[in-house]
Amino acid sequence: MLDFVINSRTRDIGGFQVKRLLPASRQRMIGPFIFLDHMGPLTIARGASADILPHPHIGLSTVTYLFEGANVHRDSLGTRQIVRAGDLNIMTAGRGIVHSERHDREAPEMTFHGVQIWVALPEANEDDAPSFAHHPAGTLPELAEPGVRGRLLIGSAYGVTSPIEHPSRPLMIDLAIDRAGCIDLPTAIEQRGVYVASGRVRIGETEVAADQLAVLRPGATRLEGVDPARVVVIGGPAMGKRLIDWNFVASTQDRIDRARQAWLDQTFPKIPGDDQEFVPLPR
């Protein structure tokens, strides 16, 4: 059932504020998931900016999934990809990549709402070549139970498998649960968490509200809608200790130190056509 609940903390990431759930003091990771930000809902007026400027990563995969709105991903591989609600972008940094996420200032006013998650890489894959993959909404398996609709984003569950393969073997599910709708969560997962993006659910005898992340114990777990709710289920096998420093994740301090120095020296690869702004390395 439920072990404990993590409350979100507000963080400013430059262009706008987010609700941060992971890492937390009591729970650094859930399976390979080491970072979870809830973005929005944010109203972006035509011509306004809510950009995330070019910045580097190592040792992780970023997962961007939107409930509403759209943005434009660019990276140092030369990728330019629009991600829309229901699509999933996964960018694997490996030994190093730089990316930006911007909004089309010519687009009409829109609501921007979604999550960005980091999945730590196994030690054997930390120095892999960087890569990027875009998965449109229609390629991700749909799920349906009485009072529940959803999509399997990464991993295997409920008799279906996502087209996304990842060496850390993560599980990620998006669920919309009606009031009194219920669903049993997969049990063959070593570590699991349920993030309530909106509404309220019951896990066992405990109610979990919007902007809270429930950390689950092993065993049978049923989700029930108290109010109509949108939740993201994450999980996977436990990983060894990982260090996190700014946008860098690694199993050793040496990898972190080398990445910090490379960003200071500006030897990370550049984003074609989006390399005029430099985000300073935090102290």
Tell me how many domains the chain contains. 1
Q: Which residues contact 250 (CB under 8 A, 6 or more apart)?
A: 58, 59, 126, 242, 243, 256, 259
User: Quick check: is 273 in a domain?
Assistant: no
Whole domain around residue 14: which residue ranges? 2-236
Helix (H) or strand (E) holding 115: strand 110-120
User: Of 211, 217, 265, 259, nearest to 57 (Cα)?
Assistant: 259
Contact by Cβ (8 Å): 36, 115? yes
Q: Let me know if residue 271 belongs to a domain.
A: no
What SS3 class is residue 43? strand
Measured at the alpha carbon of residue 271, what is the angle toward residues 270 and 272, in degrees to the nearest 5?
Answer: 110
**Contact (Cβ atoms closer than 8 angstroms) between residue 94 and residue 129:** yes
Helix (H, G, I), strand (E, B) or coil at 259: helix
pLDDT at 15: 67
**By CB neighbour count within 10 A (0-12 exposed, 13-18 middle, 19+ buried), where does 283 fall?**
exposed
Is 40 domain-assigned? yes
CA dist 102 and 65 (Å) reads 15
Q: Is residue 258 part of a domain?
A: no
Provide the pLDDT for residue 103. 86
Query: CA–CA separation, 60 vs 207, rounded Å?
Result: 32
Helix (H, G, I), strand (E, B) or coil at 24: coil
Q: Distances from the Cα of 226 to the Cαs of 147, 186, 212, 217, 231, in angstroms?
A: 12, 20, 14, 21, 12
Distance, CA of 114 to CA of 229 (rounded, Å)? 14
The CATH number linked to 171 is 2.60.120.10
178 in any annotated domain? yes
- Residue 254 inside a domain? The answer is no
Cα(201)–Cα(180) distance, rounded to whole angstroms? 9
Tens place of pLDDT per residue across the chain (283 aa): 888 999 999 998 766 789 999 999 999 999 999 999 999 898 988 877 778 899 999 999 999 999 999 999 999 999 999 999 999 999 999 999 999 999 877 788 989 999 999 999 999 999 999 999 999 999 999 999 899 999 999 999 999 999 999 999 999 999 999 999 999 999 999 999 999 999 999 998 999 999 999 999 999 899 999 999 999 999 999 999 999 999 999 999 999 999 999 999 999 999 999 988 889 998 7
- Is the residue at 106 inside a domain? yes
Q: How many angstroms separate the CA atoms of 277 and 274, rounded?
A: 8
Question: Tokens 């650094």 belong to which residue?
Answer: 28
> Does the residue 123 lie in any domain?
yes
